[in-house]
Amino acid sequence: MPVLARSFEKAGFSTILVTPMPYWAEMVGTPRTLAIAFPFGHTLGRPGDEKLQHSVISEALDVLENADSTGTIVHSEKTWPQNTQEAIKSWQPEEPSPIIAELAPKFREMLRQRNQPK
Amino acid sequence: MPVDSFQYLPRLIATFYQMTEHEPEHPIPWTPLPRPISECKFSLVTSGGIYHKDIDPPFDLDRERNQPTWGDPSYRALPINISQTEIGVSHLHLNTEDVLQDMNILLPIQPFQELVEAGKVGALAEHAYSFMGFQGYPPDTTEWQNTYAPEVAGKMKTEGVDCVFLTPA
């Protein structure tokens, strides 16, 4: 999605990206980013939590309004109200995605080899 | 504390990401805010795979199932008065339960309508735009960059948009 932010910015719009993955935003190079430590699929908060959604949006709009140079990444202080292991489990699909199902065995083998003592 | 991009990723998927090489393209584009946001018109864009149920087709998940290294690069335009019961979500990389309960966690139509009413944001564009974030492995965003983003940008221009609010899934 950082690629889309760049495309729209280039087309003449002022963009703000809210993302749990500033790593990717930085690697691709996005104009204005609010990084937030929320699980995937929950960029603006929990379902039904209007207060939290408004609060994240408000932080993002502050970045949009106040960033004075391109490549600005602001890290939100907000934390997710669920422990990390539960959150990792709950955002993922019940069945692994097709690419994970296909590549997981290869990656596991690769990680196994990498972790073997030299 | 800086946000840890890998906090919520199982180790396997984190490895996928870390093995994906990408050269940052410089310069990073920049369009200064043309006026205070209380006078700006916003377009909302998500990559959550949301579509207008019974009106538009879902994203092409069948092809992705048959060809796991491919992800549907197309987009859907959503009327801004779309209701929760009218949306579908096609995304094989997420548990879609929560967004099907409240789309505002990825496509914040309701909060933005409230911001417009409160005078904090100028206006909301007539359409929001939805993509499906998985663009293959290794990721290939050529179609986004060359075809679909310019098409959406053209529509936004027609709608008089100033700012784009992007929420990936």
Instruction: Count up the domains in chain B and report the number.
Output: 1
pLDDT tens-digit readout, A49-91: 999 999 999 999 999 999 999 999 999 999 998 899 999 988 9
Residue that the structure tokens 């690419």 belong to? A99
Rounded mean pLDDT, A96-106: 89
Contacts of B87 in chain A (CB under 8 A): none
Which residues on B lie below 8 Å from A31 (Cβ)? Answer: 28-31
Residue B158 has pLDDT above 70, yes or no: yes
A36 contact residues in B (CB cutoff 8 A): 3
Give the model's pLDDT for residue A105.
86
**Averaged pLDDT score across all residues of chain A:** 93
Among A75, A84, A107, whose Cβ lies nearest the Cβ of B2?
A75
A42 vs B24: CB contact, 8 Å cut-off?
no
Q: Which of 70-89 (B) contact A at CB < 8 A? A: none
Whether A115 has a pLDDT exceeding 80, the answer reads no
pLDDT at A117 over 80: no
* Residue B99 in contact with partner chain A when CB distance is under 8 A: yes
> Is the residue at B27 inside a domain?
no
Inspect the interface and report whether the beta carbons of A48 and B101 lie closer than 8 Å: yes
ipTM over 0.90: yes
Structure tokens at B124: 């909301």
* Contact predicate B35/B162, CB 8 Å: yes
pLDDT in tens, B79-137: 999 999 999 999 999 999 999 999 999 999 999 999 999 999 999 999 999 999 999 98
| Residue B14 belongs to some domain of the structure | no
Rounded mean pLDDT of B7-21?
79
Q: CB–CB of A16/A58 below 8 Å?
A: no
Residues 113-132 on B with a CB inside 8 Å of A are 114-115, 120-121, 131
When comparing pLDDT for A113 and B118, which is higher?
Answer: B118
Cβ distance of A9 and B94 shorter than 8 Å: no
* Dist. CA B4–CA B6, nearest whole Å: 5
B85 found inside a domain: yes
Kindly report the nearest CA distance between residue B89 and chain A, in angstroms: 11
From A17-31, B4-18, B113-127, the region with the lowest mean pLDDT: B4-18
Kindly list the domain boundaries of chain A, sorted by start residue: 2-86
Instruction: Give the position of tokens 């149920």.
Output: B53
Average model confidence (pLDDT) across chain B: 95
Note the pLDDT of residue B32. Answer: 98
Rounded to whole angstroms, how far apart are CA atoms A107 and B163?
40
Question: Rounded to whole angstroms, how far apart are CA atoms B45 and A4?
Answer: 9
Chain A contacts of B144, Cβ < 8 Å? 3-4, 7
Of A22, A29, A47, the CB nearest to B98: A47
> Which chain A residues touch B146 with a CB distance below 8 Å?
none
* C-beta atoms of A4 and B149 within 8 A: yes
Tell me which chain B residues have a C-beta less than 8 angstroms from the C-beta of A84: 7-8
B166, A101: Cβ pair inside 8 Å? no
Question: How far A118 CA lies from chain B's nearest CA (Å)?
Answer: 20
| Amino acid in position B95 | N
* Tens of pLDDT, residues B139-156: 899 999 999 999 999 999
pLDDT of residue B114: 98
Domain membership of residue B114 (yes or no) is yes
Higher-confidence residue of A2 and B18: namely A2
Range of the domain at B48: 37-167
The 3-state secondary structure of A49-60 reads CHHHHHHHHHHH
Query: In this prediction, what percent of chain A has a pLDDT beyond 90?
Result: 78
Mean pLDDT of B9-22: 78
CB atoms within 10 A of CB B144: 22
Q: List pLDDT tens digits, range B37-96.
A: 999 999 999 999 999 999 999 999 999 999 999 999 999 999 999 999 999 999 999 999
Contact B3, B123 (CB under 8 A): no
Query: How many angstroms away from the CA of B80 is the closest CA of chain A?
Result: 17
Phi, psi angles (nearest 5°) of residue B41: -95, 130
Reported confidence tier of residue A112, pLDDT bands at 50, 70, 90: confident
Confidence of residue B1 (pLDDT cuts 50, 70, 90): confident
pLDDT of A118:
61
